[in-house]
Amino acid sequence: MSAFCKSSARVIISSAMHADAFLDEQGAFMRRCCRPMTGCLVLLTVLSLASSCAVNEDQGPLFQEDFEGESGVWGSDQWDTFDRGYEEGEYFIELREPNWFAWAYAGQKLEDVSIEVDAYLASGPQDGHFGALCRYADVGNFYYFGISSEGYYAIFRRVEGGDLEVLTGEGIGMLPSSVIKTGGEVNRISAVCQGDELSLYVNGELLDAVTDDTHSRGDVGLGAGSGPRGGGRVRFDDFIVTRP
């Protein structure tokens, strides 16, 4: 399914799907000098898949995935604008258009979580970003913790299908950090959603924390976006969700 809109309008197709994507014509939040997103969004919703990797809440992790086998939880899809799927024991999201954001989620309903995942830019321009989602209620409501291979980061919020808002750095955009490994190096991203506190760690070090009580419960997932130059293939591994 797809939706198209003029620059002054926003059309959203909302469904209980496990992978989605949208286009921001301005490409604002993909750049380190970003501002809260405005303009046209194009949303795609794709295949819905059942979750099969949940772990007993009384025994260790709430959810985990090493992507060694095509479990069906995250799924594989090919579209004109993006691909996603399993590859050599990892999961990938590839963007083909400038200023696109695509994500996949696991089919969980959780409140307070600590998400950890290895992620890196496998190929393409470095002006994109990638990271983890928490409290994903639907395509219009979630938190996104993103970093770039240029060494920038931000915590984002989306509410009722509106613009992605930058919560960190007083909303001025993605901020630099020397903790983030650049280029194609692997970063260990940790997103902690506990009560109204949202914290982003990279490689074991706290980068930033904000408070927000908009979303209290939802799914967990992976996300990746392209910048103004378009393209980019991001790979993920060793995804694990625990209690904070």
Provide the domain limits for residue 205. Answer: 19-242
The whole-number average pLDDT for the span 18-42 is 37
Question: What radius of gyration do the chain's Cα atoms show?
Answer: 16
Q: Are 131 and 223 in contact (CB under 8 A)?
A: yes
Residue 150 located in a structural domain: yes
Predicted local distance difference test score (pLDDT) of residue 41: 31
Among the listed residues 19, 2, 20, the one whose alpha carbon sits nearest the alpha carbon of residue 11: 2
Angstrom distance (rounded) from CA 77 to CA 81 = 11
Predicted local distance difference test score (pLDDT) of residue 102: 93
Residue 10 located in a structural domain: no
Residue 59 located in a structural domain: yes
Give the CATH number of the domain where residue 183 resides.
Answer: 2.60.120.560
Query: How does DSSP classify residue 170?
Result: G
Residue 7 located in a structural domain: no
The fraction of the chain above a pLDDT of 90, given in percent, is 68
Angstrom distance (rounded) from CA 151 to CA 127 = 10
Number of structural domains (the chain) is 1
Residue 137 located in a structural domain: yes
pLDDT tops 80 at residue 148: yes
Residue 12 located in a structural domain: no
Query: How does DSSP classify residue 169?
Result: G
Residue 6 located in a structural domain: no
